[in-house]
């Protein structure tokens, strides 16, 4: 599900690029990775330091496309929420039945040569 951008138009630069990079849609990591790929390393990954550096170096069409594509992919990725479950009865041993579901001779590495398990967890 990769949406490629049509880069026939103008790539933002200057103030337009600064506003785009400072938006909440573009992460600090995406900006810092782009800078690292250009050979620019800044000690602090905060946007207050990295955005002016990236704006000053300008973006190639590929760099611009990568930043936007990664941002879109991250925003479209399903969010997971961990739920907390309450036990219906505190006195029941629920671990043993789960352990019994697995065979004691189960060996995930059985068919892989040159791997040997010394002790079982």
User: pLDDT per residue over 7-29, tens digit each?
Assistant: 556 788 888 899 989 998 899 99
Query: Cβ neighbours of residue 22 under 8 Å, at least 6 residues apart?
Result: 47, 51
**Residue 67: burial class (beta carbons within 10 Å; 0-12, 13-18, 19+):** buried
Nearest-5° angle of CA 32, CA 4, CA 80?
65
Model-wide pTM > 0.75: no
Q: Look at residue 40 and tell me if it is in a domain.
A: yes
Q: Look at residue 114 and tell me if it is in a domain.
A: no
Residue labelled with tokens 């810092």: 32
> What is the span of the domain harbouring residue 21?
14-76
Q: Please tell me the total number of residues recorded for the chain in this structure.
A: 121
Q: Look at residue 107 and tell me if it is in a domain.
A: no
What is the total count of domains within the chain? 1
Q: Look at residue 5 and tell me if it is in a domain.
A: no
Q: Look at residue 86 and tell me if it is in a domain.
A: no
Q: What is the pLDDT of residues 47-81, one digit of tens each?
A: 999 999 999 988 888 888 888 888 888 888 887 88
Q: Look at residue 25 and tell me if it is in a domain.
A: yes
Q: Look at residue 27 and tell me if it is in a domain.
A: yes
């Amino acid at each position: 599900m990769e949406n490629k951008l049509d880069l026939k138009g103008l790539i933002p630069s200057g103030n337009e690029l600064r506003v785009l990079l400072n938006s909440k849609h573009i992460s600090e990591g995406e900006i810092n990775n782009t800078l690292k790929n250009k050979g620019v390393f800044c000690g602090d990954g905060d946007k207050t330091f990295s955005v002016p550096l990236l704006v000053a170096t300008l973006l190639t069409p590929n760099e611009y496309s990568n930043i936007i594509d990664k941002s879109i992919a991250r925003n479209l990725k399903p969010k997971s929420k961990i739920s907390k479950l309450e036990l219906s009865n505190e006195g029941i041993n629920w671990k043993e039945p789960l352990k019994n579901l697995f065979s004691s001779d189960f060996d995930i590495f059985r068919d892989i040569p040159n791997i040997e398990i010394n002790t079982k967890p």
